[in-house]
């Protein structure tokens, strides 16, 4: 038999097809067989009168693997999972006698085979009987198992006839019947294995699609999932057509290999209409260029599709609608060459589920792209606003300078009447306020420029606070608010930051000025400079504490917006432009810091300017 050899003294030949392999080849791991194959092998041993039977299946096109053995446990243990090449079987079949579906190679012909192959398998104890029809241990009896299309799918091998004789015509007819049963069982087993592999690959592909990142654009998502889809469905290639988000008929076509997919305008319209129809009916369409016209497509459209597929070397496609809920979002096209097998029902069912999963991914990708686009638009708008403020401020600065100069000239004239002098004073006050607004706008545009680089130097923050304290002290005295001297909480060496001293002084001045402006007479404003560690990083913090009117929870969320004024009537009664805190926040951000606020309406506020500490 092809899978065993006898313990004889004569040379062993390469006639053991199922168990032969090159001497240096590793023993393969056993492969599970279908129950039907095992039943056929057991029938050969129980009814056909052979001591051992084995069934092999074709693997990887050019190999035969033993998947079922009956009749002897030692033989099964030695042979299950072993492989040999189809070429070695074909070599033996060239010298075999044809007994219908059976092939028989007597041991005396084995000298014609390649002696460089060694035999590995179960070795029974057998002494041949006398006579010309005696079974020899090196005799080969097998039946190649063929699919309906004529391709080899397996091999049935028999050995050790119980009567010790080569089978006669009656025994051969019984064996041929078992060979037919074995071919049927082998075909079913291979189909079942192929189906299981299709299910596994399709499931893997679907899992990859489900886990695709929702924080990528469509092109990146296709790159993540495309290879898995092609492999999972045994396709040669694929592309995705995604409809325009506003449903204006435009589409994005993306190929898995990154190449450009150019569909004629007519086919774009045909694909969109077909995708929406398929989604509404929840079905997948298969179009084969070698078959008759697809029933769902008009004759002209079908001819155009076939012509296009022929032009790119595609034999068939699986057309999958992509959508979410009632909305069709596009289509997925998987392609195969004309020589590839047909799409299976399992693949069609699985790929429809993937159409649902891709619909969710497309919606997420659209949301991500829309959000990304909005962020860029907002950034561009912010840059435009900053430049607009700077331009308008500069344009206001020049005429204001002229107005202030002429006011100074007029105020030195002695012959002006009293009413004119009063008017000039009012004009002067208004001009001063307007100049202050222009200066704030210019500063805001400068510190808010995202492309601005702060010229950093080591700054003693306690010294900056002291200078700002001196600037605000006169205003505090005028308002009868006690401005406590600055206090340091920590070693001076730890109260140093890196940044622009003038900008930092302006930030602290604004905070102190606001505290004084919104504090009632007789109250006190304190300022403390301290060091702290936050999330492992060293910071220097300037706390400005007042006992003023406080800030409501609703207002605290908008405090640092440009031109925002509190909704508190008491706060609105105090003059201001709504730019002071916005400038503070921009300066803090430009220095890698931030501003914290703790406040309660009617009970005062604490503003904390937090900046990274300088490296010692």
HEC sequence for 347-376: HHHHHHHHHHHHHHHHHHHHHHHHHHHHHH
How far is Cα 199 from Cα 284, in angstroms, rounded to an integer?
A: 17
Percentage of the residues of the chain whose pLDDT score is greater than 70: 76
Name the band, by pLDDT with cuts 50, 70 and 90, for residue 250.
very low
pLDDT at 7: 32
Residue 78: the pLDDT is 82
Query: Is 70 exceeded by the pLDDT of residue 245?
Result: no
Q: In the prediction, which pLDDT does 344 show?
A: 80
d(CA 449, CA 383) in angstroms, rounded, equals 7
pLDDT higher at 123 or 303 = 303
**Minimal CA–CA distance to 578: which of 556, 563, 559?**
563
Q: Which of 209-223, 262-276, 347-361, 570-584 has the lowest mean pLDDT?
A: 209-223
Each residue's pLDDT tens digit, 466-521: 999 999 999 999 999 999 999 998 787 788 999 889 889 999 999 999 899 889 99
Provide the pLDDT for residue 119: 40
Rounded mean pLDDT, 375-393? 71
Region 370-388: mean pLDDT is 75
Residue 568 has pLDDT above 90, yes or no: no
CA 395/CA 572 separation, integer angstroms: 28
Q: Is the CB of residue 497 less than 8 Å from the CB of residue 461?
A: yes
The answer to whether the beta carbons of residues 372 and 336 sit under 8 Å apart is: no
Q: Residue 81: pLDDT above 90?
A: no
Instruction: Provide the token pair at 102.
Output: 């059976």
Question: What is the Cα–Cα distance from 514 to 595, expressed in whole angstroms?
Answer: 14
Q: Name the burial class of residue 233, with classes exposed (0-12), middle (13-18) and buried (19+) by CB atoms within 10 angstroms of its CB.
A: buried
By mean pLDDT, which of 63-72, 127-136, 273-282 is the weakest?
A: 127-136
Q: What is the pLDDT of residues 174-213, one digit of tens each?
A: 999 999 999 998 988 887 777 676 667 666 666 666 666 5
State mean pLDDT over 316-336.
Answer: 89
Query: Parallel, antiparallel, or unpaired: how do β-strands 482-483 and 524-534 relate?
Result: parallel
Ramachandran angles phi, psi of 227, nearest 5°: -60, -40
How many Cα atoms sit within 13 Å of 23 on the Cβ side?
4
State the average pLDDT for the chain.
Answer: 79
Give the pLDDT of residue 104: 93
- pLDDT at residue 29 greater than cutoff 90: no
Spatial distance between the Cα atoms of 505 and 471, rounded to a whole number of angstroms: 10
What number is the average pLDDT over the span 369-382?
A: 78
Q: Which one of 25-29, 52-56, 414-418 scores highest in mean pLDDT?
A: 52-56
Please tell me which of 224-228, 372-376, 540-544 the model is most confident about, judged by mean pLDDT: 540-544
Of 195-204, 348-357, 554-563, the range with the lowest mean pLDDT is 195-204
Residue 387: which pLDDT band, with cuts at 50, 70 and 90? low
Compute the average pLDDT of residues 524-549: 90
pLDDT at 16: 38
Average pLDDT over residues 397-415: 72
Question: 145 forms bridges with which residues in the sheet?
Answer: 154
What pLDDT score was predicted for residue 137?
82
Please name the residue that has the structure tokens 């969109």.
272
Strand partners, 9: none
Would the pLDDT of 59 be above 90? no
pLDDT band at 303 (very low <50, low <70, confident <90, very high): confident
- At 296 the pLDDT is 65
Crossing angle, helix 501-517 and helix 580-590, to 10 degrees?
150
pTM tops 0.75, yes or no: no
Judge whether 439 and 445 are in contact, CB under 8 Å.
no
CA 424 – CA 409 distance, rounded (Å): 11
Distance CA 39, CA 68 (A): 9
Q: What are phi and psi of 198, to 5 degrees?
A: -60, -45
Give the pLDDT confidence score for residue 477 in this predicted structure.
Answer: 92
């Amino acid at each position: 038999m092809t899978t065993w050899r006898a313990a004889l003294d004569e040379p062993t030949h390469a006639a053991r097809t199922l168990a032969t392999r090159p001497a240096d080849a590793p023993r393969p791991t056993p492969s599970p067989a279908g129950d039907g194959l095992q039943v056929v092998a057991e029938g050969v041993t129980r009814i056909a009168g052979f001591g051992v039977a084995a069934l092999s299946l074709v693997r990887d096109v050019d190999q035969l693997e033993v998947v079922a053995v009956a009749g002897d446990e030692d033989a099964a243990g030695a042979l299950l999972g072993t492989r040999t090449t189809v070429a070695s079987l074909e070599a033996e079949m060239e010298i075999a006698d044809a007994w219908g579906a059976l092939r028989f190679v007597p041991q005396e012909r084995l000298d014609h085979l390649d002696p460089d192959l060694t035999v590995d398998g179960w070795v029974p104890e057998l002494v041949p009987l006398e006579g010309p029809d005696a079974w020899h241990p090196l005799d080969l009896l097998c039946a190649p198992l063929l699919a309906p299309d004529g391709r080899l799918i397996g091999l049935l091998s028999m050995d050790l006839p119980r009567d010790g004789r080569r089978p006669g015509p009656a025994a051969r007819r019984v064996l041929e019947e078992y060979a037919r049963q074995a071919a049927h069982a082998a075909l079913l087993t291979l189909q079942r294995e192929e189906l299981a592999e299709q299910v596994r690959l399709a499931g893997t592909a679907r899992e990859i699609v489900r886990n695709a990142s929702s924080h990528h654009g469509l092109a990146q998502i296709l790159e993540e999932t495309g290879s898995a889809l092609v492999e999972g469905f045994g396709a040669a290639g694929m592309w995705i057509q995604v409809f325009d988000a506003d449903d204006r008929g435009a589409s994005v076509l993306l190929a898995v290999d990154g190449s450009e997919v150019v569909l004629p305008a007519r086919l774009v319209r045909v694909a969109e209409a077909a995708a929406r129809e398929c989604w509404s009916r929840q079905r997948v369409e298969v179009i084969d260029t070698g078959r008759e016209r697809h029933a769902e497509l008009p004759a002209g459209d079908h001819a155009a599709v076939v012509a296009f597929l022929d032009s790119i070397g595609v034999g068939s496609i699986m057309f999958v609608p992509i959508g979410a809920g009632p909305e069709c979002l596009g289509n997925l096209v998987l392609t195969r060459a004309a020589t590839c097998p047909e799409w299976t029902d399992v693949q069609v069912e699985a790929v429809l589920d993937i159409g649902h999963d891709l619909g969710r991914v497309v919606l997420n990708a659209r949301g991500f792209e829309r959000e990304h686009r909005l962020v860029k638009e907002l950034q561009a708008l912010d840059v435009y606003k900053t430049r607009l403020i700077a331009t308008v401020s500069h344009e206001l600065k020049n005429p204001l300078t002229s107005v202030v100069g002429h006011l100074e000239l007029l105020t030195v004239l002695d012959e002006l009447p009293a009413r004119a002098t009063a008017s000039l004073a009012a004009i002067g006050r208004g001009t001063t306020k307007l100049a202050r607004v222009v200066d704030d706008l210019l500063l805001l545009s400068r510190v808010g420029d995202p492309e601005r680089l702060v010229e950093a130097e080591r700054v003693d923050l306690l010294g900056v606070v002291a200078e700002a304290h001196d600037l605000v002290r006169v205003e505090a005295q005028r308002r009868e608010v006690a401005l406590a001297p600055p206090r340091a909480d920590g070693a001076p060496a730890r109260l140093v930051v890196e940044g622009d001293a003038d900008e930092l002084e302006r930030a602290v001045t604004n905070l102190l000025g606001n505290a004084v402006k919104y504090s009632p007479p007789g109250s006190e404003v304190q300022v403390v400079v301290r060091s702290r560690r936050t999330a492992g990083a060293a910071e220097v913090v300037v706390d400005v504490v007042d006992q003023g009117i406080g800030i409501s929870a609703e207002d605290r969320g908008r405090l640092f917006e440009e031109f925002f004024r509190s909704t508190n009537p008491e706060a609105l009664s105090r003059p201001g432009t709504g730019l002071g805190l916005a400038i503070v926040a921009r300066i803090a951000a430009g220095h890698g810091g931030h501003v914290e606020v703790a406040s309660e309406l009617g009970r005062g506020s604490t503003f904390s300017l937090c900046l990274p500490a300088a490296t010692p």
